[in-house]
Amino acid sequence: MIRTDKHDFFTDLRACMAFITILPTGKNPVYSPLGMIRFFPVVGLIIGALLVITDSLASMVWAAPAAALVDLIFLVAVTGAFHLDGLGDTADGIFSHRGRERALEIMKDSRTGMMGLVAVVLGLAAKFAGIWSVKTSCSPVQAMTIFFLVPAFSRASMIFGIKYLNYGRKGGTGKDLFDRPLNSKDFYLCLIPLAFSLFLGYKGLMLILGFAMGCVAILTFYKRKMNCITGDMLGAMNEVMEAWLFMVAGMNII
């Protein structure tokens, strides 16, 4: 069901949750592709809050490595592996060493190739290592705050992907997100994780710097390799950023 009326805050939030998670949103959530973009970081905060609960419960009965694995499984499950599928498809296409159009065709193939498999395995391994590092190198309060914020930052990165690169297909899952240029109103909710990160001290500054560096690096890579972006590439961006930011937050440099 596609909405045509004036944007509504909670309706668009519900639409965003239905689009990028498997969390319950009630019956017949409205599909609002342009309205829901601004809520990517908010849904990330909801996922982060659930991750904090998951980690707290898992840590009651398991040591850090096993609890980190439970956290990882939760992050995969809460999205229905939606973004993880995009990571595999993107890796198959971009690293096929073919031209842009052929690479886009490969991304559409539902079968996962060797490069996609490698990317998914390495992405999950990096995320697991990052979560484990956060749990063992940070105080409990720091770790909970990082678990709360990282999913929000990673999903905020997708807004920058929509803003700065053109959509590469004539159709597809992500096309509706590119029907108009984004403006400042689509970014203001990104200030929420940014503000919370300031309470983390130097760890918060590391997250902010890691976020900026990650966005620039990924979008520059996409620009040079494909000169466009797709829904799969947005999902891949989320997965890479999430793993990267856990790794950054887990660094023990002081």
| Domain assignment of residue 23, yes or no | no
pLDDT of 87-108, one tens digit each? 999 999 998 888 878 888 888 8
Residues 235-250 have pLDDT tens digits of 999 999 999 999 999 9
The total number of structural domains that make up the chain: 1
User: How confident is the model at residue 26, as a pLDDT?
Assistant: 79
Residue 19's contacts (CB-CB under 8 Å, 6 or more residues apart) are: 31, 33, 36
Residue 6 domain-assigned (yes or no): no
d(CA 239, CA 219): 14
Q: Is residue 31 part of a domain?
A: no
**Domain containing residue 124:** 43-249
- Look at residue 16 and tell me if it is in a domain: no
Least reliable range by pLDDT among 24-28, 136-140, 221-225, 238-242: 24-28
Phi and psi, residue 165, nearest 5°: -130, 145
Query: Lowest mean pLDDT: which of 4-8, 39-43, 178-182, 249-253?
Result: 4-8
pLDDT tens digits, 57-69: 999 999 999 999 9
Mean of the per-residue pLDDT values for the chain? 90
Q: How far apart are the C-alpha atoms of 148 and 41, rounded to whole Å?
A: 11
Residue 7 lies in a domain: no
Residues 6+ apart with CB under 8 A from 137: 250, 251, 252
* Calpha distance 106→101 (Å, rounded): 9
Closest CA to 124 of 56, 161, 74: 74
Residue partners of 211: CB distance under 8 A and separation at least 6? 153, 156, 157, 241, 245
Sign of CA dihedral 110, 246, 50, 212: negative
Asked if the structure places residue 98 within a domain, the reply is yes
Q: What is the mean pLDDT of residues 7-16?
A: 83
Sorting pLDDT into bands at 50, 70 and 90, what band is 254? low
The Cα-based distances of 237 to 89, 214, 226 in angstroms read 12, 9, 14
Q: Are 191 and 232 in contact (CB under 8 A)?
A: no
What CA–CA distances, in Å, run from 241 to 19, 83, 111, 179, 246? 19, 11, 24, 25, 9
Determine the 3-state secondary structure of 135 from DSSP: helix
Nearest to 237 by CA among 158, 149, 153: 158
The residue type at 106: I
21 lies in some domain = no
Judge whether 90 lies within some domain: yes
Q: Has residue 145 got a pLDDT over 70?
A: yes
